[in-house]
Amino acid sequence: MRGADVAGPEAESGKFHAGNLYCPVSDSTSFRRFLADVRFPYLAGTSFLLFGLIFGAFQLLEITIRSGNPGADLTYLHLSRGMVTSGGLVIWIIWTLYEYRDRIRTVMRQHDDQYQRLLGAAVETILLTDDHHRVVYANTAAERELGWTLTDMIGKPLTEVLPVAGGVDAARNRRWEADVTTHTGRVFRADLTHVVLLDEDGRREACGVILRDLTETRLRQAQLERSERLASLGHMAAGVAHEIGNPLTAISSIIQLMQKRPQDEFTTEQLQVVRENVNRINKIVRDLVDFSRPKRADLAPTYLNDLAEQAVGLMRHDSRCRDIRFEADLAADLPTVTATADRLHQVLVNLILNAVDATAGQPDRQVRIRTWADADMVHLSVEDNGKGIPIEVLPRIFEPFFTTKDVGKGTGLGLSVSHHILTGLGGRIDVESEPGRTCFSLRIPRETIS
Ligand code: ADP
């Protein structure tokens, strides 16, 4: 086989195990290769040397004998010379071949180990089959992905271990996508590659299957598509919001004018309702415009303590906050951040209003604002002792238009706009919540003095 021998002696005897990827001197093909690989020039050279040494030694012996007895019969000497030479050469050749065979085996075993470790570390599922499509090797990812134990997989038909919708065409190399069923019955979409491994004579000796689970990739694709859809929705909404803005301002001013004139009770009430609703539409329009405003407009050094004080000061006069105890724990010497102050102000007001809504109807309502800084970031948190955010709602609160408030009360844009503003500044917004406590924390990179 080109690349790696899969089947060892165990494969021939019908037994298979995963630890025998590479065992080269075990069958006739391997033996032929061994003969071809063996260093014949080395063997011929060393044999010739040995031959010369033995012959030389006997020649010296012969000279010594002849000098003492010129007429001596040397027949036995020549006979033993021939025997010693041929015996010596045979022993030398056999020893050399055996020693070489062992060395090759050791090297191959090392390769075998390395291949196994490499395949074992692969994230993809890798299976090798013999010529009869029985599994001879499976890596750890295969155990994890297909739900079989290693020992159960070895020796089983590939179709059983890897039931692929549409089957596997074992005759050709190919890459395709198909549904795969695991041992536990889970069905998943997979990217499959089938490789036919040939021996030196071009005959199919084994096959390899590489499988990648596409579930996560598909999920990520879907998320990407969703955020792209949201982004284009944001653009569209911003366009519409701009168009709605002008007529709304006109309606608002007309209502204000009408409210200044004496009216009957019914008209006064209705005008108030119309005004509140127009204000509400105005807020949604402003939120939508903010959502798609270019991120780095009007950036300037901003002091979060000032913003916190302004926001709290503003909210104190709001009728909804009358029985709320505001606490501010603001760090002295807080570094500034680079931001658009009015957008951060909007974030704070959003968070405070949410805290106010969450504590509605409670006897002891508290909202605590804290600021502090570390080496890289300036932090601000808004904490309330309200009802908390239910665990099933928590993952969705930053989604645009997600709200648990009654129709007419929540737009579901406050947190998504805040998140958008914070990420635009290179910062982030996090939330921790439990019944009786919710804490939103903002972090923004400290201003760097260049
Ligand atoms: P809205 O306030 O218009 O509903 P937001 O995006 O500001 O939109 O908030 C989304 C949802 O997050 C709210 O409807 C509410 O369920 C939840 N939420 C936000 N802040 C709090 C809080 N402090 N306590 C409890 N729930 C909150």
Output the domain CATH number for residue 179. 3.30.450.20
The pLDDT value given to residue 177: 92
Ligand 1 centroid–CA 405 distance in Å is: 8
Ligand 1 and 205: CB distance under 6 A: no
Radius of gyration of the chain (CA): 42
pLDDT value for 25: 40
Same domain, 310 and 255: no
For residue 438, the CA-to-ligand 1 centroid distance in Å is 10
Closest C-alpha residue for ligand 1 atom 20? 354
pLDDT on residue 13: 33
CATH of the domain at 369: 3.30.565.10
Q: Answer yes or no: are the C-beta atoms of 423 and 413 closer than 8 Å.
A: no
342: in domain: yes
Q: Does the residue 113 lie in any domain?
A: no
Q: 385: Cβ below 6 Å to ligand 1?
A: no
Q: Please indicate, yes or no, whether residues 318 and 405 belong to a single structural domain of this protein.
A: yes
What is the whole-number distance in angstroms between the Cα of residue 300 and the centre of ligand 1? Answer: 29
Average pLDDT, the chain: 84
Cross-strand pairs, 292:
none
Same domain for 251 and 309?
Answer: no
Residue 111, domain member (yes or no): no
Nearest CA to ligand 1 atom 14: 403
Minimal-distance CA residue to ligand 1 atom 7: 414
From 260, 292, 324, give the residue that closes a domain: 292
Q: Where are the beta strands (DSSP E) in 154-231?
A: 174-181, 187-198, 204-213
Helix (H) / strand (E) element for 438: namely strand 437-445
Atom of ligand 1 nearest to the CA of 412: 8
How confident is the chain (450 residues) per 10-residue block, as mean pLDDT? 37 36 47 65 87 92 90 89 92 87 87 88 92 91 92 92 84 88 93 89 86 89 76 74 82 89 88 87 76 65 93 81 91 92 88 93 93 95 96 90 82 87 92 95 83
Q: Are 330 and 303 in contact (CB under 8 A)?
A: no
Domain count across the chain:
4
405: domain range?
A: 300-445
Angstrom distance (rounded) from CA 315 to CA 322: 9
- Note whether 323 and 424 are same-domain residues: yes
Are residue 265 and residue 317 in the same domain, yes or no?
no
Domain boundary among 275, 292, 309: 292
Residue with token string 């019914």: 266
Give the E-state strand segments of 276-364 in sequence order: 300-302, 324-330, 337-339
Q: Does one domain contain both 240 and 195? A: no
CB of residue 438 inside a 6 A radius of ligand 1: yes
Q: Same domain, yes or no, for 310 and 415?
A: yes
Does residue 403 line the site of ligand 1, with CB under 6 A?
yes
> Is residue 431 located within the same domain as residue 309?
yes
The three-class DSSP label of residue 352 is helix
Are 210 and 224 in the same domain?
no
Residue 450 lies in a domain: no
- Say yes or no: 262 and 327 in one domain: no
Q: CA 295, CA 317: separation in Å to the nearest integer?
A: 31
Q: Residue 316 domain-assigned? A: yes
Whether residue 112 is contained in a domain is answered as no
Q: What crossing angle do the helices spanning 304-316 and 341-358 adopt, rounded to 10°?
A: 50
Question: What is the rounded distance in angstroms from the CA atom of residue 432 to the CA atom of residue 438?
Answer: 6
87 domain residue, yes or no: yes
Task: Give one word for 207, left, alpha or beta, with left for phi > 0 and alpha for psi -120 to 50.
Answer: beta
Q: Does the predicted TM-score (pTM) go above 0.75?
A: no
